[in-house]
């Protein structure tokens, strides 16, 4: 039911039918963390691993990757007159931000993931940010009823820095998270509890 309702919601007033969506991440300070660990964050990096369905999707449909014929306007800005997720991600959340970069890796040995880097200009604690773009179920067509999910694979998958790499220092990382995976537009968030690095 959640999948069906999310698909109905992906047509905008402009008439553009969205074939991709996003995952929400909500931020809280971790257990026993007395100070706001997110204070002073200039850059946030979120790297979520593609699970089997999305790996299969992009392997079979390289045209939907960031440099592909179809993917360029999905991963790019609104000026390309497509889905424009580079601009859209920050419009959807409650954290003031700008997407600095979206990087995709598809490698059977090194891992397959999407990394989004955000320039942050407001409070993070008790707020949310959107991650993507991720193909919706109708586009991904997963086998055996599976969902096109991404996974938080380690405690540095989401982290905050005081500037752009390589000069920026890591301020905070994950203390714990729940759940460990999600699919686009599912409604529920991945909860990220942060702690000082």
Q: How far apart are CA 135 and CA 150, in angstroms?
A: 11
Beta carbons within 8 Å of 4's beta carbon, 6+ residues apart? none
Digit-coded pLDDT (tens) for 147-157: 999 999 999 99
Judged by average pLDDT, the poorest of 14-18, 117-121, 131-135, 183-187 is 14-18
Give pLDDT, residue 2.
34
pLDDT band with cut points at 50, 70 and 90 for residue 8? very low
pLDDT tens readout for residues 81-117: 999 999 999 999 999 999 999 999 999 999 999 999 9
pLDDT-derived band at 14 (thresholds 50, 70, 90) equals low
Q: What angle do CA 6, 101, 85 make, to 5 degrees?
A: 25
Neighbours of 144 (CB within 10 A): 5
pLDDT reading at 41 higher than 70? yes
What pLDDT score was predicted for residue 123? 98
Contact 151, 48 (CB under 8 A): yes
Task: Provide the residue count of the chain.
Answer: 197
Asked if residue 184 lies in contact with residue 51, where contact means CB atoms within 8 angstroms, the answer is no
pLDDT value at position 145?
A: 85
In this prediction, residues 7-24 reach a mean pLDDT of: 71
């Amino acid at each position: 039911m959640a999948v069906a309702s999310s698909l109905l919601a992906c047509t905008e007033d402009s008439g553009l039918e969205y074939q991709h969506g996003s995952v929400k991440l909500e931020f809280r300070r971790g257990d026993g963390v007395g100070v706001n660990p997110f204070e002073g964050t200039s850059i946030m990096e979120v790297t979520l691993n593609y699970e089997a369905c999305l790996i299969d999707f992009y392997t079979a449909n390289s045209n939907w990757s960031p440099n592909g014929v179809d993917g360029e306007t999905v991963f790019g800005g609104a000026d390309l007159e497509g889905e424009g997720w580079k601009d859209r991600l920050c419009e959807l959340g409650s954290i003031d931000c700008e997407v600095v970069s979206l990087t995709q890796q598809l490698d059977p040995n090194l891992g397959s993931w999407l990394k989004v880097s955000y320039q942050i200009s407001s409070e993070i604690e008790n707020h949310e940010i959107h991650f993507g773009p991720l193909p919706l179920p109708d586009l991904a067509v997963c086998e055996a009823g599976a969902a096109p999910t991404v996974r938080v694979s380690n405690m540095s998958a989401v982290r905050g820095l005081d500037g752009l790499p390589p000069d920026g220092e890591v301020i905070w990382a994950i203390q714990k998270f729940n759940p460990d995976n999600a699919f686009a537009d599912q409604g529920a968030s991945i909860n990220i509890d942060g702690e000082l690095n």
